[in-house]
């Protein structure tokens, strides 16, 4: 079984992905592939570290499966349907862990990671995958001085049997959500309302300090955390947790269509105007601390990992239109929800 598990994990990490954990794996290459028959939302949490996934193919008949891991807190999650492998960043173990053959398991099954990385990290959050590389955003204070914001990216390489730390990259802002668009890594500027990009990020193969190629202010956001990009229609979605002390009702998310063109048109240090975005926020949304986001472009549905309201929820919104104080069409409790990833199979 070790050989089979290794092949499955290699399948996971050799598939080129231009999205972060929180993106859908839609294929927009035309009509060569059949329509997906199943849509699943994979989630992690910081309450018990278990993996919960929801079959959201039919909102009137959502099923839930929870797999019990040895982690007690986890973040950034990713799923490869080709290898039936789920990967998450363990905040309790401070490492990456991957599990195979998960679809055959029934709810409340205890599982053990088939591949475990070394415990290198301090505070792992979101994760982005590109080829056989996994990048983890770590929001621990690098220099120990809270007056100087900084963060670190851990860059892991997989050969199918293990995760090896290739290098670490220190940046001059706090990090959280990340996603690849092509070879460029987009990262939220945590504790702020900015979005940064590192062009050709993976060309940096040694331990180094790196400045962003470009940073822009996203007008209307107070403090951003999660982001996702869908290549099929060019939409970026970013979450806003608002005041970190208010975990109940001041959160929201911004939808930015035609993102690349809009972002490119803003100069370094400039502002992406709120008028070029759609904002969903308000008491009806049940968002107080939306830490991560996934997007199904085919149905126009936004999925949110809400860490604060009601102790934690998985929310879904559709018919976004011009935004506003929308009520979720899905509202499932998940204590300390931390990450979401959408898979269309």
- The pLDDT value given to residue 294: 98
- The pLDDT value given to residue 3: 28
3-state secondary structure the chain: CHHHHHHHHHHHHHCCCCCECCCCCCCCCCCCCCCCCCEEEEEEECCCCCEEEEECCCHHHCEEEEEECCCCCEEEEEEECCCCEEEEEECCCCEEEEEECHHHCCCCEECCCCEECCCCCCCEEEEEEECCEEEEEECCCCCCCCCCCCEEEEEEEECCCCEEEEEEEEECCCCCCEEEECCEEEEEECCCCEEEEECCHHHCCCCEECCCCEEEEECCCCCEEEEEEECCCCEEEEEECCCCCCCCCCCEEEEECCHHHHHHHCCCCCEECHHHCEEEECHHHCCCCEEEEEEECCCCEEEEEECCHHHCEEEEECCCCCCECCCCCEEEECCCEEEEEEEEC
- The pLDDT value given to residue 28: 36
Q: pLDDT tens track of the chain, all 345 residues?
A: 222 333 444 454 544 333 333 344 433 333 455 566 899 999 999 999 999 999 999 999 999 999 999 999 999 999 999 889 999 999 999 999 999 999 999 999 999 999 999 999 999 999 999 999 999 999 999 999 999 999 999 999 988 788 999 999 999 999 999 999 999 999 999 999 999 999 999 999 999 999 999 999 999 999 999 999 999 999 999 999 999 899 999 999 999 999 999 999 999 999 999 999 999 999 999 999 999 999 999 999 999 999 999 999 999 999 999 999 999 999 999 999 999 999 999
The whole-angstrom distance between residue 98's C-alpha and the CA centroid of its chain comes to: 16
Q: What residues does 75 pair with on adjacent strands? A: 89
Cα-trace Rg, the chain: 18
- The pLDDT value given to residue 33: 55
The whole-angstrom distance between residue 262's C-alpha and the CA centroid of its chain comes to: 22
Please tell me the pTM assigned to this model. Answer: 0.92
Domains and their CATH numbers in the chain: 2-344 (2.130.10.10)
First to last CA, the chain: 24
Cα angle value 292/128/262 (rounded, 5°): 70
């Amino acid at each position: 079984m070790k050989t089979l598990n290794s092949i499955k994990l290699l399948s996971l990490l050799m598939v080129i992905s231009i999205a972060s954990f929180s993106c859908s794996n839609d294929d927009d290459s035309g009509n060569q592939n059949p329509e997906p028959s199943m849509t699943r939302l994979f989630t992690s949490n910081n309450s018990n570290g278990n993996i919960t996934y929801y079959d959201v193919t039919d909102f009137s008949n959502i099923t839930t499966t929870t797999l019990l891991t040895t982690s007690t807190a986890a973040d950034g999650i990713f799923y490869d349907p080709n290898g039936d492998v789920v990967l998450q960043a363990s905040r309790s173990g401070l490492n990456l862990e991957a599990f195979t053959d998960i679809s055959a398991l029934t709810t409340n099954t205890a599982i053990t990671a088939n591949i475990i990385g070394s415990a290198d990290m301090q505070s792992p959050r979101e994760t982005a995958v590109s080829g056989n590389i996994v990048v983890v955003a770590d929001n621990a204070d690098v220099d120990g001085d809270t007056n100087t914001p900084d963060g670190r990216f851990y860059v892991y390489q997989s050969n199918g049997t293990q995760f090896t730390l290739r290098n670490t990259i220190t940046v001059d802002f706090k990090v959280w959500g990340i996603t690849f668009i092509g070879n460029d890594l987009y990262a939220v500027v945590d504790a702020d309302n900015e979005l940064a990009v590192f062009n050709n990020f993976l060309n940096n193969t040694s331990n180094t300090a790196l400045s962003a190629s470009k940073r822009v202010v996203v007008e209307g956001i107070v403090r951003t955390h999660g982001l996702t990009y869908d290549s099929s229609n060019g939409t970026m979605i970013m979450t806003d947790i608002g005041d970190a002390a208010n975990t109940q009702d001041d959160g929201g998310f911004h939808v930015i269509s035609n993102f690349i063109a809009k972002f490119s048109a803003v100069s370094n240090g400039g502002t992406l105007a709120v008028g070029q975005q759609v904002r969903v926020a308000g008491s009806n949304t049940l968002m107080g601390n939306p830490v991560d986001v996934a997007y199904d472009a085919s149905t126009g549905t936004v999925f949110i990992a809400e860490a604060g309201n009601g102790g934690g929820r998985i929310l879904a919104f559709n018919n976004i239109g011009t935004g506003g104080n929308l009520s979720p069409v899905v509202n499932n409790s998940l204590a300390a929800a931390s990450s979401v990833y959408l898979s269309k199979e």
